[in-house]
Structure 1
Amino acid sequence: MITTIQMKNKVLDIWSILKSERQSGLVKRLYSVNSKINIYCVYQYPEECYGIALSFPKSIRFNLEPFASVSEPVVEIYEDKSFPNCMILCAKIKHLDKINEFSYLCESVIQTILAEKTIVDAVRTFGNTLLRWKNLFECTSGIGLSKEEQQGLYGELRFLKKCLTSTSQLYYDIVQSYVGTNRTMRDFQGKNWAVEVKTTSTNNPQVLIINGERQLDDTLVDNLYLYHCSVEVSKQAGESLPEMVHNIREILKDDVAACSLFNAKLFEAGYLDIHEPFYLKRYYKLRKDSFFCVKDKFPRIRENELRDGVGNVNYSISISSFYSYEVPEQQVFLKCLSND
């Protein structure tokens, strides 16, 4: 059986069954029999490769060229012998140290694919996901997150935990709004709201680094907020990053879809469970957290204020210069989470 970390999911369960059968070659099993879209969990023996695959008509073209030199995940296309005139698009990995994280990614993308209305949309979604996975696996081949990345992720997860415990909105929708792991311009994004999270551990004078002219630009959203999380970092007192991850998983443990999506987003952020030992001796103790409404004369640079030819502007703002824009935490959740 495959050893799981923190929780099980359906993908891991199917992989375990396929592995126990020890059938040579690539074997597949439908993830759901109640869908018109045929997506499978696959296992290859004796190579011990795990993955997922999507069946689609031969009339749909898929370009394998971007994946020609990719070591993981391995992306291949086979003829689907279960259905006439169909092919199978397969993505699989072999390294067992990433099996758990990969299963979360698979679980998440399967849910997205099954929600598509047409097989053409399903293939497009799977293809776009595979391109993102390609970059993701290349970035997670090191020894974990830097101290700055750990601190930033801690602040984002602290806000996510606040959202999960402050509203009756579906957990899945809340986790889905966490888009910072996709390297988008802001960390949380809804239909007409956004929240940017900044985490600092420095002493006065405190400044925040703003990455790009669009990060604090409220032109396209009705409500834009800045969440500032100020922490003290130590080797003894406080909460570690793995503890924060565990606490959120506990909140989500009865919602398999939301928990799988959360774990997929952790992996996209570069957080792997096998790297936990690197993070256990670094603790965060909250000094203060504050919410600010970004509007009017809030100190920032907006895209339409730049001269022609100027872009990708990074700048710093002093926290003391925008205290007048501070708002209660409850206002943020009322304006944001109630809008979707």
Structure 2
Amino acid sequence: MKTITNMPMNNKVLEIWKQFEQNRHKGMVKRLYSSDSTINVYCIYQYPEECYGIALSFPKTICFNIKPYSNLSELKVELYEDSSFENSWLLCVTITDKDKKSIFSYLCENIIQTILKESSIKSAVTSFANTLIKWKNLFEKTHSTGLSKEEQQGLYGELCLLQKFLSDSKNSLYTIVNYYVGTNKSLRDFQGKNWAVEVKTTSTNNPQLLLINGERQLDDSMIDNLFLFHCSVEVSKSSGETLPERVKEIKDMLSSDLAALSLFNAKLFEAGYLDTQEGQYSEHHYKLRKETFYHVTNDFPRIRENELRSGVGNVHYGITISDCEPYVVSEASVTNTTINHD
């Protein structure tokens, strides 16, 4: 395995792979992602097989069971002797499907950023192992039956807000897409430095109640500003806009920024939305009835973590929309406090 070290340190994974493609060194090559960390994580590439991936180096004193990852359909997980360090393993995860290379690069980018924040190499290995299980589930979705009706509706509402932010923001397109974290099961759907926005999408079947998932979802104790975006839609089989049409609109907006477009594709993949299955989503049409922003503060109707009795957790509850009316704020107020404030 050949190691290459002369690299601009702010390169992203996809850019590093492109450099590997141009150099065409036979066999497996690796390139250190960052020299500022004691955790050695690499971008890797194998030619002429054209395998793309990342790798983590760690001491052999840390046990890692590779068997659970031996039968992944899209990914290959392998453990090698790391010739760069004494008594060390090199844990490699690669993909050979070039059509998914761009999406995979941003999944890799996300895990690298997570790994580099870990306080020890042992915790970095654990984080990597947990992520491999998540990736296994993500890539298995390529063979699934697609999103449920509820998941489609929820994704549609999130994309409505993403499109608003893309239209209103002074930040780069990539930055705005990066704020969208709902697809990786984060606590809220959009997250910035000191703000967050949670999206709730309802249809006319039950428009008066918003379901809250957990005691922390509307808890603003750790951030400066928390907002709730309620997207009310009417669902029909013929009138309105489909989920694939909304996706296409956003992709058109991002077409001038390939990095942002690739990141958005990765977000859709994390959500379980695949272009190959979009025909399944043409049955449901959404017509926007009302879009409302609420500032979650003071006596906003909610349950906060510090209000729970000892032993109580994982609370799911509903709030009535009419009781939220005193906290309505304008869209401009939200954008100025969130995406245009960071």
**C-alpha distance in 1, partners of 2:140/2:260?**
25
Instruction: Give the secondary structure class of the aligned counterpart of 1:246.
Output: helix
Q: 1:77 to 1:254 in 2, by over 3 A?
A: farther
Residue in 2 that maps onto 1:178: 180
Q: Give CA deviations for 1:14-37 in whole Å, capped at 9, x if unaligned.
A: 89889xx9x8xxx4456x799766
The partner residue of 2:318 within 316, 334, 339 is: 316
Residue in 2 that maps onto 1:40: 44
Residue in 1 that maps onto 2:204: 202
Residue in 1 that maps onto 2:236: 234
Cα distance, 1:205 vs structure 2: 5.4
Q: Give CA deviations for 1:39-72 in whole Å, capped at 9, x if unaligned.
A: 1234675xxx844133747678572447445524
| Equivalent residue runs for 1:52-63 within 5 Å | 52-54=53-55, 56=57, 61=62, 63=64
Q: 1:33 to 1:219 in 2, by over 3 A?
A: closer
Q: 1:277 to 1:231 in 2, by over 3 A?
A: same
Instruction: Give the secondary structure class of the aligned counterpart of 1:289.
Output: strand
Cα distance, 1:303 vs structure 2: 1.4
Letter in 2 for 1:262: F
The partner residue of 1:146 within 117, 135, 148 is: 148
Conserved? CA contact 1:108–1:257, under 8 Å = no
Q: 1:14 to 1:248 in 2, by over 3 A?
A: farther
Conserved? CA contact 2:294–2:329, under 8 Å = yes
**C-alpha distance in 1, partners of 2:106/2:207?**
45
Q: 1:38 to 1:185 in 2, by over 3 A?
A: closer
Q: 1:294 to 1:66 in 2, by over 3 A?
A: farther
Instruction: Give the secondary structure class of the aligned counterpart of 1:221.
Output: coil
Q: 1:87 to 1:249 in 2, by over 3 A?
A: farther
**C-alpha distance in 2, partners of 1:182/1:322?**
28
Instruction: Give the secondary structure class of the aligned counterpart of 2:248.
Output: helix
Gaps of 5+ in 2: 1-13, 36-40
Conserved? CA contact 2:241–2:286, under 8 Å = yes
Root-mean-square deviation (Å): 3.5
Residue in 2 that maps onto 1:104: 103
Q: 1:132 to 1:203 in 2, by over 3 A?
A: closer
TM-score normalized by structure 1? Answer: 0.79
Cα distance, 1:89 vs structure 2: 2.9
Residue in 2 that maps onto 1:335: 337
Cα distance, 1:12 vs structure 2: 8.7
Gaps of 5+ in 1: 1-8
Cα distance, 1:78 vs structure 2: 2.6
Letter in 2 for 1:176: N
Instruction: Give the secondary structure class of the aligned counterpart of 1:236.
Output: coil
Instruction: Give the secondary structure class of the aligned counterpart of 1:159.
Output: helix
The partner residue of 1:299 within 298, 301, 305 is: 301
Cα distance, 1:234 vs structure 2: 2.1
Residue in 2 that maps onto 1:71: 72
Instruction: Give the secondary structure class of the aligned counterpart of 2:319.
Output: strand
**C-alpha distance in 2, partners of 1:12/1:280?**
36
Residue in 2 that maps onto 1:191: 193
Q: 1:289 to 1:222 in 2, by over 3 A?
A: same
Higher relative contact order (CA 8 A, sep 6+): 1
**C-alpha distance in 1, partners of 2:261/2:61?**
33
